[in-house]
Structure 1
């Protein structure tokens, strides 16, 4: 081989040049590492010093310090929501699993309050208001958690709740023609006056009654997508926080 600095010919495998004395390993490191001011160094500095964008800050904000106890509690909550979500997603629309669940009891007061809140906007909006309020409550929580408290993990829980509400509404929509589902008060739709069953009234008044099963499937599908997205979002946040836990001084 020839010395890269003075050109002296020498045996292969040497560690330094006998004529000029350069150390070959140091020479290689010098010429293969990015030089100060080079594009590679500037790019690395840009990545290190880059300010997170608006959406990254909003959706993936990570606190300066992560406490392992709340982190473990959130991991447990995420596991529960994952298993619960799988149960909801793979239950048929006409199953009683949705209507007999704890979440249906949680959603019901908001549903009934929605009828009162939207009453000034006419009979169709009064009927639709119950379903809208079920979706508005988790949406409001989502906005508050992201903007006010800067807690995207809580926001992912709100998104999961919104998805669950879409699935909760699907059997009600699907029942618009058969009118066999038990309603508040113990009656079924076919034995109640016209307008008592929200989605029968909404779909008949809008001329969409023949699409009840399609709309129900769309509602169930939207709920499944939101719940799966919420679990993935929450898992990503916990993985990022776990990395911070690993870097904590011990």
Structure 2
């Protein structure tokens, strides 16, 4: 007899309708991005424009707090929060692969922020300001306020280390998800062993069995019409 494995179906339901070769190609591209970030601190990925837009939106959002410190920090907060929120939403939708991709996305934001932090003293980066005018270097102001301007390179190195973990952790997690997506799906399984039938009461004209009695039938020996064993049946205690 075959019957669906409900637990297995539940575990693999999220894979339905998802094409794993596309995910594999995306993972390879993310791996390329990760290598480029390692060998070139000035590298900006395709996420760069998106990250910049989120950064500037964060400044506008935190402007209403009335705090100059939060206003300057708001861009970086928004950059870090966006991938985390996206990952949470994808997990709620059981889109595991998309949630994994949010790790490398977060890493690109951290790499961008590390480059920005490392520039706090040299002020060599070209800055962008919403609405024009003179742009303020966020991390020159923030580290100066905290008395940590001399540690800009150390802080940037720590952020880059965190970015490395997020980048390759997300890629490895995504690779595992792709492996699960590509694996054959087991929909049914066969039950082996005797089939045990426990009648509620004895049929009319037959001697009653004591409570707890059962009939053991070998698979394939049950009469489909009567629901009884055709041959080699024995009453046993269960």
Contact 1:66/1:244, CA 8 A, preserved across alignment: no
Does residue 113 of structure 1 match 2:57? yes
Specify whether residues 112 and 65 from structure 1 end up closer, same or farther in structure 2 by C-alpha distance, changes over 3 A only: closer
Which residue number in structure 2 is paired with residue 123 of structure 1?
68
Contact 1:141/1:155, CA 8 A, preserved across alignment: yes
> By how many angstroms is 1:244 displaced?
2.8
Which residue number in structure 2 is paired with residue 11 of structure 1?
none
Which residue number in structure 2 is paired with residue 244 of structure 1?
184
Of 152, 166, 172, which aligns to 1:212? Answer: 152
Number of residues of Structure 1 aligned to a counterpart in Structure 2: 179
Return the structure number with greater helix share.
Answer: 1
- The TM-score with structure 1 as length reference comes to 0.65
- Cα distance in 2, alignment partners of residues 109 and 62 from structure 1: 36
Q: Which runs of 5+ in 2 are unaligned?
A: 189-238
Which residue number in structure 2 is paired with residue 63 of structure 1?
13
Q: Secondary structure at the match of 2:80?
A: helix
Of 153, 157, 160, which aligns to 2:101? Answer: 157
Specify whether residues 121 and 63 from structure 1 end up closer, same or farther in structure 2 by C-alpha distance, changes over 3 A only: farther
Q: Give the aligned CA root-mean-square deviation in angstroms.
A: 2.7
Contact 2:72/2:138, CA 8 A, preserved across alignment: yes
Q: Secondary structure at the match of 1:102?
A: coil
Residues 85-122 of structure 1 show CA distances to partners (whole Å, capped at 9, x for unaligned) of 21113323xx2x23xx4321111110001011112151
- Cα distance in 2, alignment partners of residues 175 and 104 from structure 1: 17
Residues 159-186 of structure 1 show CA distances to partners (whole Å, capped at 9, x for unaligned) of 110011101111110000011111116x
Which residue number in structure 1 is paired with residue 197 of structure 2?
none
> By how many angstroms is 1:62 displaced?
3.6
Q: Which runs of 5+ in 1 are unaligned?
A: 1-48, 186-191
Contact 1:78/1:234, CA 8 A, preserved across alignment: yes
Specify whether residues 184 and 211 from structure 1 end up closer, same or farther in structure 2 by C-alpha distance, changes over 3 A only: same
Post-superposition, which runs of at least 4 consecutive aligned residues in structure 1 deviate over 3 A? 64-67
Does residue 75 of structure 1 match 2:15? no
Does residue 226 of structure 1 match 2:181? no
Specify whether residues 90 and 236 from structure 1 end up closer, same or farther in structure 2 by C-alpha distance, changes over 3 A only: same
- The TM-score with structure 2 as length reference comes to 0.68
Return the structure number with greater strand share.
Answer: 2
